[in-house]
């Protein structure tokens, strides 16, 4: 069943079903060639984001203030685009669930942990750690959306992927050249937050995330991080430097507007596990940008760990979701 919205083409109405847990998650569609293109676009704009975040912090931006301002500007951008396109206002339930779940987990806690973690590690390394997100998503799907559980091959993929994560994090935990444990801890915490939030939104969100809903998520995320920044025992600052605001502009236009719009198209069509497989490609972009433009080092541990994680993710993505019994 399809419906139309003012100022735009036909929108996909959610085909929801109720499984044994009361979930109203829409059934996943097969991963198409167009989905692969959208995935590549999302990976490109998100991969470069890790480097811009790191550069803003290096130039003096406090992490939570930097993230809060980015998210506030992103919320305004999405609201403006939605108004210009005359996109229909979502239902009260759809907007509130999207704002609460997406705003807290997909934007707020994710962004706060990511920006905080990038104080301690380079952007390329942070992008490599992002490959933990699909693995964590599979775990949350297993408990929260039984109808989209994956089978034995994916379980093997989880184990292989976790081995890769250990390889990625081991040198930092041992006091290697990439820093201490704080950076990986917070970045992986960010991935856990976005994985949990994407699964919750799939289960309770009720369908497609429109521009108003995405904007509401960014607004809640900005308020959450702004409130945390105000209660910290030290001041959060955002210096008026050209490099900081150039990085902020790139993050709003590309990583927020383009990145999240394409991500939620994937999330709606193919489900959270495959949508979060965008992190499969992000390290290639992040490491290439960090090394090519900013001279960030690439270690053997990163290459080996990344390859192992990719093997695990390949096992996960090659197995289609199965209906809950």
Cα–Cα distance, 120 to 270 (Å, whole number): 34
Q: Are 160 and 312 in contact (CB under 8 A)?
A: yes
The values of phi and psi at residue 63, to 5°, are -60, -45
Task: Write down the pLDDT at residue 296.
Answer: 62
The secondary structure of 246-293 as a DSSP string is HHHHHIIIIIIIIHHHHHHHHHHHHHHHHHGGGGGTHHHHHHHHHHHH
Ranges of beta strands (E only) in the chain are: 2-4, 10-12
| CA–CA dist 41, 130 (Å, integer) | 16
Q: Measured at the alpha carbon of residue 288, what is the angle toward residues 285 and 289, in degrees to the nearest 5?
A: 80
Per-residue pLDDT of the chain (325 residues; tens, 9 = 90+): 333 333 333 333 333 333 333 444 556 666 677 878 888 899 889 888 888 898 899 999 999 999 999 999 999 999 999 999 999 999 999 999 999 999 999 999 999 999 999 888 876 677 778 888 888 988 898 889 888 777 788 778 878 887 887 787 776 656 555 557 888 899 999 999 999 999 999 888 757 899 999 999 999 999 999 999 999 888 888 999 999 999 999 999 999 999 999 999 888 888 887 788 777 777 667 666 666 666 666 778 878 888 888 888 788 767 655 544 4
| Dihedral of alpha carbons 215, 216, 217, 219, sign | positive
pLDDT at residue 21, rounded to an integer: 36
Q: Which two tokens stand for residue 183?
A: 């950076």
Inter-residue contact 42 to 266 (CB < 8 Å): yes
Q: Check residue 173 and give its pLDDT.
A: 59
């Amino acid at each position: 069943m399809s419906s139309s919205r003012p100022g735009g083409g036909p929108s996909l109405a959610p085909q929801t079903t109720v499984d044994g847990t009361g979930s109203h998650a829409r059934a996943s569609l097969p991963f198409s060639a167009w989905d692969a293109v959208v995935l590549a676009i999302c990976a490109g704009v998100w991969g470069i984001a890790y480097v811009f975040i790191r550069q803003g912090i290096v130039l003096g931006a406090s992490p939570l203030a930097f993230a809060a301002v980015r998210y506030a500007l992103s919320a305004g951008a999405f609201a403006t685009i939605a108004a210009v396109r005359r996109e229909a206002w979502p239902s009260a339930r759809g907007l509130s669930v999207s704002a609460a779940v997406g705003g807290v987990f997909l934007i707020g806690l994710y962004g706060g942990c990511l920006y905080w973690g990038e104080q301690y590690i380079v952007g390329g390394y942070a992008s490599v750690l992002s490959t933990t997100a699909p693995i964590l998503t599979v775990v949350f799907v297993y408990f929260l959306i039984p109808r989209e559980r994956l089978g034995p091959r994916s379980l093997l993929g989880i184990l292989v992927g976790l081995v890769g994560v250990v390889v990625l994090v081991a040198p930092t935990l041992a006091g290697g050249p990439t820093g201490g444990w704080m950076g990986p801890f917070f970045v992986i915490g960010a991935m856990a937050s976005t994985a949990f939030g994407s699964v919750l939104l799939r289960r309770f969100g009720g369908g497609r995330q429109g521009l108003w809903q995405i904007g509401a998520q960014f607004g809640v995320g900005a308020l959450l991080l702004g409130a945390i920044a105000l209660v910290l025992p030290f001041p959060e600052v955002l210096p008026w430097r050209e490099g900081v605001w150039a990085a902020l502009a790139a993050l709003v236009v590309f990583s927020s507007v383009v990145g999240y719009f394409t991500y939620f198209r994937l999330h709606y069509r193919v489900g959270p596990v495959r949508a979060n497989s965008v992190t499969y490609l992000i390290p290639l972009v992040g490491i290439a940008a960090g090394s090519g433009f900013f001279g960030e080092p690439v270690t053997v541990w990163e290459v080996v760990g990344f390859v192992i994680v990719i093997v695990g993710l390949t096992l996960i993505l090659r197995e289609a979701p199965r209906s809950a019994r």
